[in-house]
Amino acid sequence: MRPERRALIEQLHAAAAAVRAAVAAVPPGAVDRPPAPGESSARETLVHLRNVAVMVHGLRLRRLWYERDPVFADYDEPAFRREDLRRGEAVADLLATTVAELEQAARLLSTLPDDRWARHGRHPELGPMSIEFLARRLGEHALEHAEQIAAAARHR
């Protein structure tokens, strides 16, 4: 496997660990308090991260495993986030699903031959997306939001 692809797999493992550590650093009772007006609480950020990891990046990666040139549907993440927040899922469950998705993507990608990383699909508005692009974005997105949760925890 090419070194840059191995690095993307390691980034997914690092992102899973960063999300786990960030949520663990949120003080008791603070998971639903935004760090500042207009900012997202740790729970809101975690719901968003879980939804995008599973329903956007993860689903698209899996479709690329077995479909040739799929067209990816748009995803109304804000609407699903609002609905999921109303359900009041346990933070432990949100965290477990998010970490499991990141780790599962890393395991799947570690078995992918180099010639399959360039497989791509198309989003009607965003254009082509390859397995390599989606793997990179999944890791970057998770790290961005892990830092957001960690920063919010530090401002308490």
Q: Which two tokens stand for residue 58?
A: 């993860």
The 10s digit of each residue's pLDDT in 58-115 is: 999 999 998 999 999 888 877 777 877 788 899 999 999 999 999 999 999 999 999 8
Domain hosting residue 87, numbered range:
3-154
Q: Is the pLDDT of residue 156 over 70?
A: no
Tokens 């786990």 sit on residue: 20
Residues 6+ apart with CB under 8 A from 87: none
Q: Which two tokens stand for residue 115?
A: 């010639």
Q: How many beta carbons lie within 10 A of that of residue 5, not counting itself?
A: 18
Spatial separation of the C-alpha atoms in residues 5 and 23, rounded to whole Å: 27
pLDDT at position 35 is: 85
CATH code for the domain in which residue 89 is found: 1.20.120.450
pLDDT at position 75 is: 82
Number of domains in the chain: 1
pLDDT at position 12 is: 98
For residues 15 and 137, is the Cβ–Cβ distance under 8 A? Answer: no
- Predicted TM-score (pTM) of this structure: 0.92
Q: CA 122, 4, 117, 140 torsion: positive or negative?
A: negative
Average pLDDT over every residue of 7-26? 97
Lowest mean pLDDT among 7-21, 65-79, 134-148: 65-79
Q: How many beta carbons lie within 10 A of that of residue 115, not counting itself?
A: 7
Spatial separation of the C-alpha atoms in residues 21 and 47, rounded to whole Å: 16
The 10s digit of each residue's pLDDT in 40-58 is: 899 999 999 999 999 999 9
